[in-house]
Amino acid sequence: MEKIRFGLYGYGKVAQLHATALASLDNAQLVAVCGRNLQKAHDFAGRWNIAARSSCEEMARRDKVTAVLITTPHPLHAEHAMEALRAGCHVIIEKPMALRVQDCDAMIALAKDRGLTLSVISQRRLYPATQRIKKAIDDGLLGTPMLGQITMLGWRDKAYYESDPWRGSWAMEGGGVLVNQAPHQLDLLSWYLGPVAEVAGFWANVNHPYIEVDDSAVAVVRFKSGALASIFVSNSQEPGIYAKVHIHGSSGASAGVQTDGGAMFIAGRSGVLEPPVNDLWTIPGQQHLLEQWKQEDSAFFSTIDATWYFFARQIEDFSSAIMHGKKPMVSAEESREAVKILEGIYRSHASGSIIRF
């Protein structure tokens, strides 16, 4: 079977999980890694028996890489994506797509100009529980989705922030809970409710005095459809409680998912402790299915390694999209909406005003 030749840009903890995911696929093959620290690239390459290079251009030229998966710190996503696109490679980026909407726009424009596929890792869209909500919305079972809620109550300790030199600073991480942990839930919210129109919000550092960035944020969002949403995200609840996304429709019906439970997953340091499950479902005639779905999803969860399984499913789809000239399941245009929200909250906090897109 034909395989898309992948290179990794970055060699950190999440890159190891993506390498594991790639090794499981029939339509993709990891052949190279690049980064600014060649010694770290060589160490990573030795573990996976691949080439270590200094740039995307070198991976494309010497290793025939046609797709690059970017796992570098958040402020570098846009720069490294543009570098890979200019080298003629398709690109899939770890969340968030970028820190500014204007960077997303530049990446999208360059990908279109070069005829290349651009996507963003959003593996929580592939959970059975999140898929059910999307299907219910698409089937009109909630009427028009009009209200959304994100509640994320997590925890990150001092050891976490000391585990990598880039964590916890504006310059090297680009933000805190909004940039690192919340993008998955922000992506689901915009996937369900559509393009963002306005954002107003605030951030705070509740109990992490040793970092510069936010550990908590609250916001309200108005979508172009007229839908409204509230956002409450935090890394200040020890040892971590849950993360949930709930959608309420014009029909009066509601659907929700607990995407994370308990102490939340940290790449390279912990596993996914609890299965993602639907925790709210009031669609007429389907309420009785909630317990059945919880049992089914828990049983499925016990058969996989959730730290990389859903990465593999998305990379598999991305590779197929390249091969067949179709759109990937997660488009860059959709991923741009989560960036609108996180950038909007930071800008709203700084200016004290509503940010309109």
The answer, yes or no, to whether residue 295 has pLDDT greater than 70, is: yes
Confidence grade of residue 79 (pLDDT, cut at 50, 70, 90): very high
Beta bridge partners of 91: 68, 118
Whether the full predicted model's pTM is greater than 0.85, yes or no, is: yes
Q: What is the mean pLDDT of residues 12-22?
A: 97
Q: What is the mean pLDDT of residues 316-329?
A: 97
Q: How many CB atoms lie within 10 A of CB 29?
A: 17
Phi and psi at residue 51, to the nearest 5°:
-85, 150
Choose among 153, 179, 341, 170: nearest CA to 235: 153
β-strand 145-153 against 196-204: which pairing, if any?
A: unpaired
Q: What is the pLDDT of residue 93?
A: 98
Q: What is the mean pLDDT of residues 227-237?
A: 98
User: Which SS3 state, helix, strand or coil, does residue 268 take?
Assistant: coil
Q: DSSP of 270-330, one letter per residue?
A: ----S--EEEEE--TTTTTHHHHHHHHHHHHHTTS-TTTHHHHHHHHHHHHHHHHT---SS
Q: Which helix (H) or strand (E) holds 104?
A: helix 101-114
The mean of the pLDDT values for the chain is 96
Given a contact cutoff of 8 angstroms between Cβ atoms, the answer to whether 259 and 124 are in contact is yes
Domains in the chain, please, with CATH?
4-120 (3.40.50.720), 125-304+338-356 (3.30.360.10)
Q: What is the pLDDT of residue 273?
A: 76
Q: What is the mean pLDDT of residues 208-237?
A: 98
Given a contact cutoff of 8 angstroms between Cβ atoms, the answer to whether 98 and 339 are in contact is yes
Angle at the Cα of 325 from the Cα atoms of 322 and 330, rounded to 5 degrees:
65
pLDDT digits (tens, 9 = 90+) for 253-281: 999 999 999 766 666 555 677 999 999 99
Q: Give the torsion through C-alpha atoms of 192, 235, 81, 76, to 10 deg.
A: 150
Q: DSSP of 11-70, one letter per residue?
A: -SHHHHHHHHHHHT-SSEEEEEEE-S-HHHHHHHHHHHT-EEESSHHHHHHHH---EEEE
pLDDT digits (tens, 9 = 90+) for 2-12: 899 999 999 99
Beta bridge partners of 151: 232, 244
Q: What is the pLDDT of residue 265?
A: 62
Query: How much of the chain, in percent, has pLDDT values that exceed 70?
Result: 97
Given a contact cutoff of 8 angstroms between Cβ atoms, the answer to whether 227 and 241 are in contact is no
Q: What is the mean pLDDT of residues 325-336?
A: 98
The answer, yes or no, to whether residue 297 has pLDDT greater than 80, is: yes
Q: What is the pLDDT of residue 262?
A: 77
pLDDT digits (tens, 9 = 90+) for 101-153: 999 999 999 999 999 999 999 999 999 999 999 999 999 999 999 999 999 99
Confidence grade of residue 53 (pLDDT, cut at 50, 70, 90): very high
Q: How far apart are CA 284 and CA 291, in angstroms?
A: 15
User: Which SS3 state, helix, strand or coil, does residue 163 take?
Assistant: coil
How many Å is the Cα radius of gyration of the chain?
A: 20
Q: What is the mean pLDDT of residues 75-96?
A: 98
Furthest-apart CA atoms within the chain: distance in Å: 59
